[in-house]
Amino acid sequence: MGMTLAEAIIARHAEREVAPGEFVEVKVDGVLANDITAPLAIQAFRALGAQKVFDPARVYLVPDHFTPNKDVKSAEQCRIMREFSREQGIVHYFEVGRGGIEHVLLPEEGLVLPGELVVGADSHTCTYGALSAFATGLGSTDIGYAMATGRTWLRVPHTIKVIWRGRLRPWVMGKDLILDLIGRIGVSGANWCALEFAGDLLPALPLDDRLAIANMAVEAGASCGLFPADEAVLSYVSGRAVRPFQPAAPSPDAAYHQVLEIDVGGITPLVARPHLPENVVPVAELEKIPIDQVVIGSCTGGRWRDLSVAAQILRGRKVHPEVRCIVIPGSQRLFRRAVEEGLVETFLAAGAVVSPPTCGPCLGGHMGVLAAGERAVSTTNRNFRGRMGHPESEVYLASPAVAAASAVLGRIASPEELRGGR
């Protein structure tokens, strides 16, 4: 029997055949941690008695969650990571002003490549499945071990194959596709599974949309969400890859735990209502729900296409006077490009505030925390109770298109409601 894409990558790194459900030890191509998780991983690294990381060029440390530092405690967290990076000669440590949000930054820098196996002390490490890499989140203790040895253990996941067919409607983005899928199978629907994406939609699906989809695979309980190493992926990594790579592919006779076929032509702009990502409904079916804040950013919605779509909607319009609109480019490189190509001017003219790259409000850290009773539309990935602030606040997850339209109209809205829409 052939192997799924996840199985093929794991087998290569385990250097033997593998089967779903078994535990294996594998070599890793990269290890990631951030300012919240790295200090714990460093503590575990030292507890092992380790003196040197397995490869200073394959350990990636990114201060992004509470940076620029919001308080003394966050400054201390970053100091631990910064000093460890200097001590170990970490090649890819990304200081404030030279980095960004980890899951936006690493693909940009060519640090995760097709066919690779990467682990990170962050649940949204699965983002890199968009580049046809098996990437998954681990606890900080496991990351400390991986930094020391270049190895980790994995449970080989079963695979759910998702086949998307047809053409997307106007204003439907990758965020809508993954919300639709989570709405179908639930937040536990892919537990201990990998999601493998296929279908005739894929050639027309922009890479930034794929990154948003893979990012939220974990919101369905999945270990990872994998796309094939097709022309779009290979074109993206060409010229930015920091090392040679070898893509993997599923076998034609691979056995899947489940196969879902979805006609994307039936999908309209969606939101996930509080307080679960599975609580999905078409925007058109919602009553007119007023909002207090819009966030356009994060490792789910802060890439170039996200910013471009939001700017397209906000250009020549104003943010509703009762709404705060916060735009956060996902990396310093994207911030600069947004300045050079006029997107920042569009956001400022509309009455939005533009933040330096940070996870910030996504996890209720800073740069947009909600008060009791406030309601936000956000391009982030989670809307659990209290996720972005007070437990009595509400978060509606949506695409950048829906978020921008909602900012203008002062309520949850589809771009189709604005005159002059696409």
Question: What digits encode the pLDDT tens for the residues 211-240?
Answer: 999 999 999 999 999 999 999 999 999 989
The answer to whether residue 404 scores a pLDDT higher than 60 is yes
Average pLDDT over residues 142-166: 97
Beta strands in 145-223, from DSSP E residues, in sequence order: 151-155, 158-165, 193-198
pLDDT over 70 (residue 117):
yes
Under 8 Å between Cβ of 36 and 77: yes
What's residue 367's pLDDT?
A: 92
Q: Is the pLDDT of residue 39 over 50?
A: yes
Q: Do 271 and 412 form a contact (C-beta atoms < 8 A)?
A: yes
Spatial CA neighbour of 125 closest among 138, 116, 135: 135
> pLDDT by residue (tens digit) across 250-259?
999 999 999 9
- 270-272/394-398 β-pairing: antiparallel
Q: How far is CA 344 from CA 80, 100, 299, 338, 353, in A?
A: 33, 17, 19, 6, 9
**Alpha carbon of 130 to those of 48, 82, 94, 237: distances in Å?**
33, 29, 22, 11
Contact present, 79 and 116 (Cβ < 8 Å): no
Q: How far apart are the first and last CA of the chain?
A: 47
Kindly state the tokens that stand for 71: 């308080």
pLDDT of 329 > 90? The answer is yes
CATH 3.50.50.60 fits 270-417, yes or no: no
- pTM, to two decimals: 0.95
Q: Does domain 5-262 have CATH number 3.90.1150.10?
A: no
Report whether pLDDT(261) > 80. yes
Quick: pLDDT tens for 62-109.
999 999 999 999 999 999 999 999 999 999 999 999 999 999 999 999
Beta bridge partners of 92: 60
Residues of the chain above pLDDT 70, percent? 99
Query: Quick check: 303 and 330 in contact, CB under 8 A?
Result: yes
Picking from 297, 314, 321, the residue whose alpha carbon sits closest to that of residue 411 is 321
Instruction: List the beta bridge partners of residue 331.
Output: 100
The type of residue at 76 is E
Q: How confident is the model at residue 323 (pLDDT cuts 50, 70, 90)?
A: very high
Structure tokens at 154: 């994995």
- Residue 422: per-residue pLDDT: 39
Query: pLDDT above 90 covers what percent of the chain?
Result: 97
Of 388, 142, 147, the C-alpha closest to 274 is: 388
**SS3 category, 244:** coil
Question: Nearest 5°: CA angle at 385, between 387 and 65?
Answer: 10
Q: Compute the distance between CA of residue 40 and CA of residue 104 in angstroms, rounded to an integer.
A: 23
**Strand order in 293-296's β-sheet?**
280-282, 270-272, 394-398, 375-378, 293-296, 324-327, 353-354
Would you call 280 helix, strand, or coil by DSSP?
strand
Residue 1 has pLDDT above 80, yes or no: no
Q: Of 31, 156, 154, 168, which is closest to residue 92 (Cα–Cα)? A: 31
Mean of per-residue pLDDT scores for the chain: 96
Residues spanned by CATH 3.30.499.10 within the chain?
Answer: 5-262, 270-417
pLDDT of residue 282: 97
Report how far residue 84's alpha carbon sits from residue 89's, in angstroms, rounded to the nearest whole number.
8
Structure tokens at 27: 């070599």
Task: Check residues 362 and 208 and name the one with the higher pLDDT.
Answer: 208
Residue 360 CA to residue 380 CA, distance in Å, equals: 11
Q: Strand, helix or coil at 258?
A: strand
Peptide bond into 257 cis (omega under 30): no
Question: What pLDDT shows up at residue 421?
Answer: 41
Give start and end residues of each alpha helix (H) in 27-129.
Answer: 38-47, 72-88, 102-108
Q: Identify the CA nearest to 380 among candidates 364, 414, 372.
A: 364
Cα 265-268-272 angle, rounded to 5 deg: 135
